[in-house]
Amino acid sequence: MNNTTGMEFVVYIYASKSPVTELLPFRCPRCGRIVFRHNSKQMLLSNAYGASFQTLEPGSQFTEHKCHSCKSIFKILYQK
């Protein structure tokens, strides 16, 4: 991996009434390192042109995380 600048991803995690009982690893699409673990049955990964946390409705849950290996930024949104 020659380019050291990180990419930017938007991840939508959808809450379901019957979540998975074990935590599943989510790996960085760029370098393969585990970024976080989740128990959602449904997830959507988008590029940087997805939602911005500045334009989300009040009460929307949002987390930003940087991959420690490749410095990619993950904007994680939790949807009900």
- Strands 34-38, 24-27: pairing is antiparallel
Check residue 8 and give its pLDDT.
84
pLDDT in tens, 3-55: 556 688 888 888 766 666 788 899 998 899 999 988 888 887 876 555 565 66
| Residue that the structure tokens 């988008």 belong to | 46
Is the pLDDT reported for residue 80 higher than 90? no
CB count within 10 Å of CB 30 equals 16
Is the pLDDT assigned to residue 63 strictly greater than 80?
yes
pTM of the model: 0.71
Question: Which pLDDT does position 57 carry in this prediction?
Answer: 65
Which residues face 12 on adjacent strands?
44, 77
Compute how many other C-beta atoms are within 10 angstroms of the C-beta atom of residue 46.
Answer: 14
